[in-house]
A and B are shown apart, each in its own frame.
Chain A
Amino acid sequence: MRYIFVLCLLIFHTGCATLHAQSDVHAFIGARLTPISGEPISNGVLLIEHGKILRLGIASDITIPSGAIRHDVSGKVIMPGLVCTHNHVGGIGGADRTGPIQPDVRVYDSINVRDAGFKRTVAGGITTINIMPGSGHLLSGQTSYLKMRGGNTIEDLFIRDKDGQAMGGIKMANGTNSRRDAPFPGTRAKSASLIREKYIKALAYKRKQEAAKDDPSKMPPRDIGLEALVEVLEGKRIVHHHTHRHDDIITVMRIAKEFNYRVVLHHVSEGWKVAKEIAEAGVPCSVILVDSPGGKLEARDLLLKCPGILEKAGVKVALHTDDWITDGRLFLRMAAMAARAGMTRAGALKAVTLAGAEMIDLGDRIGSLDAGKDADFIILSGDPLSVYTKVLETWVEGRKVFDRSNPQDRLYAVGGYGAGNELEPYFCCFDHAEGQ
């Protein structure tokens, strides 16, 4: 028994997904494929194996290996799993009220993986999310890039880089949310000043680290907050920056340029007013659309047209749910609303997939249907931008994590009694339905 327990631990720590992935080839036959990286393919075939995309193309061009598990998906649409660059599911808590800048705080220490929000997320077709701490601080902590594999611990959801480190960014904010009584800043200029001071400290810390390279005894005392900021300064960690008003957007870009860090603008309600400047700076934008302007002064000029205007100006545009601000089940709706207000259809679909993947440094692994990428995809009943379309299945790394025909999954997709309850413990490697 003890060995089984140890084995289970091992399985968790080496990552469920790789062990989970079917060793057989799965062939999805007859759907309209929307690869995002290329033109749509009607009557296509998608082959996946070992959690990766093997091949895709027009049915007549693809040889289905004998023994492949065949899925008839004719009349359906397959597109990449959606990527949400800004998300708060899991009952998270980041920085506390002790100060406005807390880079030492890691959001993944606070995520409840049994939160029902995770089920709603996959029901909406989202396979990768960036969970962030909130916007009530200038810098509220480290964010976490997660795969919606299902899992018992947060480690099961981590996306690891080549060195095995859990990937994530840094959450920053300016404007009104992060302004309050001392020690928080009371004005915009003070906000900028506090941030600049902190990065100057991080630069000094980095220099000390570099100087001590050949002599570890000269290393500065460890400061886990400054360590994270050094990763920002080295370009290893992207700054995800909450910002609404046009002048706040410019301030974000000014300070990012001063310290030469990589930044993604988030929300960007007034981005349409400074689209040219954003495009010239080459800074990507992750936009949120809500159904009306206002709610606070700095969102008064929020326009549904914003993503379309940014797209036209040449800005890389993603969208995000900001879940719980909008619900993960309605993420495709946001793409459709962007298209309604002038974004191209292709741009709107890219904004919820590949563009978002690129903004979290995962453009080479997810976000489009391409051979070699993770087998993260969704099967839709029809046009991705139609209100009547349903997400039928969501697959992550070659494993089905949502199936609308399963009553329990459907409950999370549409709601109903019990839909708000915590999820049952997730049993790795055990399939309840089949009793295996």
Chain B
Amino acid sequence: MNTRLILIANALIGLCLFSPTASAQVAVRGQTVYTMSGDSIANGVVVIVNGKISQVGPANSVTIPAGYRVLDAKVVTPGLIDAHATVGLSGILNYKHDQDQLEHSAPIQPELRAIDAYNTQDELVTWIRTFGVTTVHTGHAPGETISGQTMIAKTFGNTIDDVTLVESAMVAATLSPSALKKGKPKSPGTRGKQMAILRAKFIKAQEYKNKLAKAEDDKKPDRDLSLETLALVLDRKMRLLITADRAQDIASALRLAKEFNIDIVLDSAAEAYLLIDEIKAANVPVIVHPAMYRAVGDRKNQSFETAGMLKHAGISIALQSGFESYVPKVRVVLFEAAIAAANGLTFDEALASITIDAAKLLRVDNRVGSIEIGKDGDLALYDGDPFEYTSHCIGTIINGQVVSEKKR
């Protein structure tokens, strides 16, 4: 083969692998299709054209155009959504050079953007994709008072621009001893101090915002990326994602939200079942910790049933893979939802918590989360009950492109 041919071949392979526009038109037939926008469809068909869902319905009402690639599955669901992860930042290898989810140089750094760190090609992004996860809310991890921003991405694509749904989704904060510093003179060293520096920073951001609004063009304050980001939070244009597990820390999160009139999302929230009335009254959604997180430290009283208890109390929930410092380096949100489905959530509720409910909570339900005409062509295919341990994911489709056909 001459060099030119190799180049062309490489270019073609590149196109096949990475370019959503290169997708063949595809249709999927499912014995059961869970659309998550109404009842499930027996013997359903989903047709995807140019990356978007163009038809969905019972087999006798949908015509698959000639020349379409057709896949079959027992169960078809919307592509799964992992409502909070660090995948792509916390790489497969647990060595410093591969871990970009936490910057420890200062306790409050809301200016750190996830898009500047997310590795679209990390092996663990591939891993979760093969189990049907197509969208992930990922970014800076719990572990600093404000560790940085999060983003929402598809799990397939070459560059950050190929995969990004939302560039700056939330600002990640942590209220827990995991974000406290040990030893003098580092700060914050206590829960009280942590809240104090958070309040001080928000007050600064408030002043920065006021200066910007009042000042003449030539007297505007210098740009401050950190305060700029927090100003967006104060304007309720970005939400503060607060990781808090113990009831007292969850209460602090609600207090902070009230004081600064900011829009928050509770993350992890192991003891949320103790504050159901308060969370409900504050109208705050909860992204519940992975069911299979280790029951240690702040999460020693976590429960398999938390998602069910919150959901049945009328609180908006979604499930997540979370952050893992050791192994498994990434969790698969499908597996976490399975445990929740066996412990309090109904099948439909559990599936919703990793599809449409997650999409609504993340405010991307115009694009993903259900099988509806016009939405992104993201599907997951299974050979049985997706939650059953011994079922397999047999296919994943993102933007109409078949990105996995492994039996997983």
Contacts and interface: CB of A to CB of B under 8 A. Distances in A.
Interface stretch (B3-11, B47-55, B278-286, B329-337): B329-337
Contact of A300 (B92, B296, B338, B389): B92
B343 interface: yes
Contacts of A333: 389
B218 to A, nearest CB: 53
B271 A417 contact: yes
A336 B124 CA distance: 22
A99 interface: no
Nearest to B324: A295
Contacts of A297: 93, 95
A324 interface: yes
B213 interface: no
A336 B339 CA distance: 13
B327 interface: yes
Nearest to A302: B327
A290 B294 CA distance: 13
A340 B389 contact: yes
B273 A292 contact: no
A324 B294 contact: yes
A415 interface: yes
Interface SS of B by simple majority: loop
B339 to A, nearest CB: 7
Contacts of A162: none
Contacts of B91: 294
A417 B328 contact: no
B338 A387 contact: yes
Contact of B92 (A294, A385, A414, A416): A294
Interface string A305-346: 000000000000000000011110010010011011000000
B124 A387 contact: no
Interface SS of A by simple majority: loop
Given A292-B329, A294-B94, A296-B93, A385 B389 contact: yes
A429 to B, nearest CB: 30
Interface residues of A, number: 34
A293 B304 contact: no
B302 A415 contact: yes
Contacts of B162: none
Contacts of A327: 292, 294-295
A193 B78 CA distance: 55
A310 B308 CA distance: 39
A121 to B, nearest CB: 12
A419 interface: yes
Given A387-B341, A387-B389, A417-B271, A295 B329 contact: yes
Contacts of B330: 291-292, 294
Contacts of A186: none
B329 A294 contact: yes
A292 B328 contact: yes
Contact of A419 (B92, B292, B295, B332): B295
Contact of A388 (B324, B331, B342): B342
Contact of B327 (A295, A339, A421): A295
B301 interface: yes
A177 to B, nearest CB: 11
Interface in B269-326: 271, 273-274, 292, 294-296, 300-305, 324, 326
B405 to A, nearest CB: 16
A417 B327 contact: no
A336 B390 contact: yes
B392 interface: yes
B123 interface: yes
B18 interface: no
Contact of A293 (B92, B295, B296): B92
A386 B388 CA distance: 6
Nearest to B95: A297
Interface string B181-222: 000000000000000000000000000000000000000000
A385 B390 contact: yes
A120 interface: yes
A337 B332 contact: no
Given A295-B328, A297-B93, 4 more contacts: A326-B292, A387-B339, A387-B389, A414-B303
Interface of A: 116, 120, 290-297, 299-300, 324-327, 330, 333, 336-337, 339-340, 385-388, 414-421
Interface of B: 91-95, 123-124, 127-128, 271, 273-274, 292, 294-296, 300-305, 324, 326-332, 335, 338-339, 341-343, 387-392
